Structure 1
Amino acid sequence: MMMMMSGGSTPREAPQTGQGDRRLSLAEPLPAQGRSALHAYSELPGSSAQDGGAQALNEGRKMLLALLRGGGAALRVGSRLGLDVAAASMSPLLQTARDYARPVRKKKQGIPSHLDDLPPTMLKKDYANLPVVDKLDDVVRRMLSLEMASQKEKVKIKREQLADKVRSTPNDTGSFEVQVAHLTARIRTLREHLHIHPKDKSNKRCMLMTIDRRRMLLKNLRNSRYDVFENTCKQLGIEYDPPPQYRRRATKRWIAKKALCIRVFQEAQKLKAPERLRQRQEWQQRALAAKEQALQNEGTPV
C-alpha cells in the first residue's frame, strides 16, 4: 500500500562503476575518436546536425552514445533523427569509438620456446639427405627450409636432435634413453601450448600422462644403468626427483588397517602350513623313489 502511495516504484541504488567501466554521458566531453565519429554522423544525409548549433550537437551526441551502447536505444534514436542505423553501425569510425569504451586486455608474456635454437635455413627432415638439394634455386631451397615449415615439422627435428644426444648406436630407436628424449620434446611442446591456452584440459591431461610415463622410464633406467641415467638427465636438462618410499599419509586408520591385513596374512599362512608340509613330503618321496628306480635300471643287464 505504501509503495502505491509513493508512486509504485522502489528506490534503487546507483550502479557502482569499477575501474574498467568506461561509460560515456552527455555531460562528459567526447574523446578525439568520438568527436571524429560525431562529425561523420553529422554529415550523413537526412541528419538535422547539418544545420549546426547546440541542438544539432546534442542530437549527434545522443546518436553516438546510443550507437555505442547498441540495442533498442540505437534504433529509437536513429528513427527519431531520421538516420540509417544499420548503415552507420558498419562505419569504421564507430568501431574506433567502440574500441575506446572497451577495457584494455593485458597480453600474456610468452615463454622462450625450445624450438628457437633451430636455424631457419635448415632443411626439413624429408629433404635434408637428398643429393639434389644442392642444385636447387634459392627460392625453392627457402620453401624447403624451416622458415616455411610448420611447428609439427620443427618438433620432429627437435626430437631427433634430442635423441642423437643420448643414443648409443646410430640404429638405436627404442631404448629407454631414446624414449625419454622423445617424451621430453613432447612435454616441452605441450607446456608451451598450455601457457598460451591454460584452459585446454585435454592437452593438460596428455602432458601429465606423458610426464608419468617419462618418470617411470627414468626410474627403470636409474635402477638398471645408473651411468646412462646420469648422462641422459645431463644431456636433456632433466632434474629427476626420486619418489618417496611411501606416498600415502600414515593415519591411525591406515596403520590399523595395515596391521590387520598383516595379521590376517600370517594366520592364513599358518592354516596353509600343514597342507604345504604334506605336499613337500610327497614330493620328496616321489623324487627318492624315482632316484632308486633309476639306479636299479642302470644296474640291470640288457
Structure 2
Amino acid sequence: MFANIALRTVLKSSATVLRESGAVCSALSANTRTYSSALLSGGRRVSCVAGSFAVSPPVRHYARGAKKRKTTPEGLFSDLSPTMLKVDYTAVPLAQTTDDLVKRLLSLELASHSDKLKLKTEQMIEKVQRDKNDRSSVEVQVAMLTARIRNYQEHLQKHHKDIANKRRMLMAIDRRKKLLKNLRLVRYDAFEKVCEQLGITYTFPPEYYRRVTRRWLAKKAFCLKVFKAVQKQKAEQKMSSASTNTKAAETKA
C-alpha cells in the first residue's frame, strides 16, 4: 500500500516537471520564430498568431519643418528718432534748453500716433513745397495724401478687416491720382520731382476702363470697318464732284 502511494507521488512530480519543460520549450520556439521573422521583414516586428501574420507599422521619425519668419516691412515712423521734438515745439527756442525730463515730455518718446504722423507729414511737405509758406499747392496736397495713404497701409497690414479705413485709403489714392494726372499735364518737371522725392510709382491709366469681351471686340471691328467704308465713299463723292466742276468750267470757257 505504501509502495503504491509512493509510486503515485513520483508520477505526479514527473508529470509537473514535463509540463513546465514543455512550456519553456514552446516559449523559446516562439521567441526564435519572431526574431527570425523580424530579421526577414527588415527590422519590423512580426507576430504569428494561429497561422496569421500581423505586421506592426514602421516607426518614422519626420523632421519638424522650420517656421518661416514673416518679413515685416519698415514702418512709416522707422526713421523718426525718439529724441526729436514734436511739430509744435520745434520752432520754440526754450524747448532746446530745458532739462531732460521736459525734453522727454516734448519729444516723440512719449508722443501719440497722431503727433508722429503730423511730424512725418511735415517732413514730406518740406521736400516738395515751393516755398516756406506754401501750404495749398498741388505738390503739398500730394505729399499730405501720400502720408495719409501710407499710414492707412500700415494700419491695414495689422487690421485687414477694417473696411472703413480701407475705403478711406482708396478714396485718398483716387484723389492723389487725379492730382498727379493734372500736375503731369501742366508742370511735368514738378511732377517728376514729386514722384522722385516721395517715392511714388506713377502708373498710366488704361485706355479703356471697359472690360474687353469678344462681343465688344467684334463690335469695335465692325464699327471701324463701317467708318472706313463711309470715309472711302465720301472721298469718291468729292472726287466725282470735283471732276464735274472742272468739266463744267471747261465747257463754259
Q: Please, which moves more after superposition, 195-204 or 123-132?
A: 123-132
Match of 2:87 in 1: 125
Match of 1:213 in 2: 175
Partner secondary structure for residue 207 of structure 2: coil
Give 1:148 deviation, angstroms. 0.6
Q: State the TM-score, normalized to the length of structure 1.
A: 0.48
**Map 1:1-302 → 2, pairs under 5 A:** 110-251=72-213, 254=216, 256=219
Give 1:252 deviation, angstroms. 5.6
Partner secondary structure for residue 231 of structure 1: helix
Give 1:195 deviation, angstroms. 0.3
Match of 2:28 in 1: none
Give 1:254 deviation, angstroms. 4.5
Partner secondary structure for residue 204 of structure 2: coil
Q: State the TM-score, normalized to the length of structure 2.
A: 0.57
Say if 1:120 and 1:145, in contact at 8 Å, map to a contact too: yes
Q: Distance in 2 between matches of 1:109 and 1:152?
A: 26
Say if 1:111 and 1:192, in contact at 8 Å, map to a contact too: no
Q: Please, which moves more after superposition, 144-153 or 107-116?
A: 107-116
Q: Distance in 1 between matches of 2:163 and 2:127?
A: 32
Q: Which amino acid aligns with 2:198?
A: L
Say if 1:121 and 1:146, in contact at 8 Å, map to a contact too: yes
Say if 1:221 and 1:229, in contact at 8 Å, map to a contact too: yes
Which stretches of structure 1, 4 residues or longer, exceed 6 Å deviation after superposition? none
Q: Which amino acid aligns with 2:202?
A: Y
Count of residues in Structure 1 that have an aligned counterpart in Structure 2: 157
Question: Which is greater in Rg?
Answer: 2
RMSD value, Cα: 2.5
Q: Distance in 2 between matches of 1:225 and 1:235?
A: 16
Give 1:245 deviation, angstroms. 1.6
Identity of aligned residues (%): 55
Give 1:180 deviation, angstroms. 0.6
Structure 2 gaps, min length 5: 1-67, 228-253
